[in-house]
Structure 1
Amino acid sequence: MAEKTDERLIKGQQMLAAVDGQAAAATLHALADVAPDVPRLIQEFAFGDIYTRSGLDLRQREMITITALLIQGDTAGQLHVHIQGALHVGLTQQEIVETFIHCIPYIGFPRVLNALSAARQVFAERSGQDGD
């Protein structure tokens, strides 16, 4: 069983790197002292089992993820990480903004405005980085 878990972890680590680059490392590291099992669960389950499934590409998966986070509300930290991931896998700023705007009739202005605020912050941070 440990071999299967190690395979899941390796697949998850590779997928997480493909989606988030180095951005996820800080999130996982921040959890290590309070909940050391959670980073492994994120890598094995979310990225090793779910993100590696066939049928959707990474752009589609990140679009779904940022939409799900928007819908939940109070997820600014995770929205920040996954907006970065969405950009990293090839979504444009316009596609991210349009994804959020599309949610207005279904979820309402307050949550969409919060998501747009998170997007604005990520876009501003990225515009200050070399090579982006």
Structure 2
Amino acid sequence: METGPNSEKGRAIRRKLIGEAAAKRIDETVHNDPIKQKFGDYAAEAVFGMFWGRPGLDMKTRALICVVSDTAIHAWPELKIHLRMARNEGWTEEELSEALLHMGGYVGLPTVREALLVARDLFAEMRAER
């Protein structure tokens, strides 16, 4: 694990956003090889430590921005992660579903359909975890 000035801050923010269990699961299954470990280190340092740790927007708003951008660029695995973060930051299933539906006029219904399928599965997964 590489460290830089924002690494620990970033790891703490990531754990807060995604939850301890999900962070551990991702570390054990996604970031468990040398290439992905480097990616995880970079994400902790640059994305979570620098971007998410900036003043100016609360984490709840930042999470919604990620949900919207993931949907717009069809980043389905990232959407699942960011939907979890958004739920953990206080967005309801209804609010997130409505935000995704609202995007239909801007990014297209097929894209929104896929996003809603990701959301449906993630919401069910999160309910089962409780």
Question: Which runs of 5 or more structure 1 residues have no equivalent in the other structure?
Answer: none
Q: Which amino acid aligns with 2:106?
A: Y
What residue in structure 1 maps to residue 41 of structure 2? 40
What residue in structure 1 maps to residue 14 of structure 2? 16
Mapping of 1:100-115 within 5 angstroms? 100-115=100-115
Following TM superposition, by how much is the alpha carbon of 1:96 offset from its aligned partner in structure 2, in angstroms? Answer: 0.6
Distance 1:69 1:43 in 2: 18
Indicate yes or no: 2:68 matched with 1:67: yes
TM-score normalised per structure 2: 0.89
Distance 2:95 2:34 in 1: 35
Aligned length: 126
Distance 2:24 2:46 in 1: 16
What residue in structure 1 maps to residue 25 of structure 2? 26
Following TM superposition, by how much is the alpha carbon of 1:26 offset from its aligned partner in structure 2, in angstroms? Answer: 2.6
Q: Which amino acid aligns with 1:82?
A: H
What residue in structure 2 maps to residue 123 of structure 1? 123
Indicate yes or no: 2:55 matched with 1:57: no
Q: 1:114 to 1:34 in 2, by over 3 A?
A: farther
Following TM superposition, by how much is the alpha carbon of 1:34 offset from its aligned partner in structure 2, in angstroms? Answer: 4.8
CA contact (8 A) 1:65 1:82 kept: yes
Question: Which runs of 5 or more structure 2 residues have no equivalent in the other structure?
Answer: none
Following TM superposition, by how much is the alpha carbon of 1:103 offset from its aligned partner in structure 2, in angstroms? Answer: 0.7
Specify the SS of the correspondent of 2:6.
Answer: helix
TM-score normalised per structure 1: 0.88
Distance 2:12 2:129 in 1: 24
Identical aligned pairs, as a percentage?
28
Alignment RMSD, CA only? 1.6
CA contact (8 A) 1:16 1:43 kept: yes
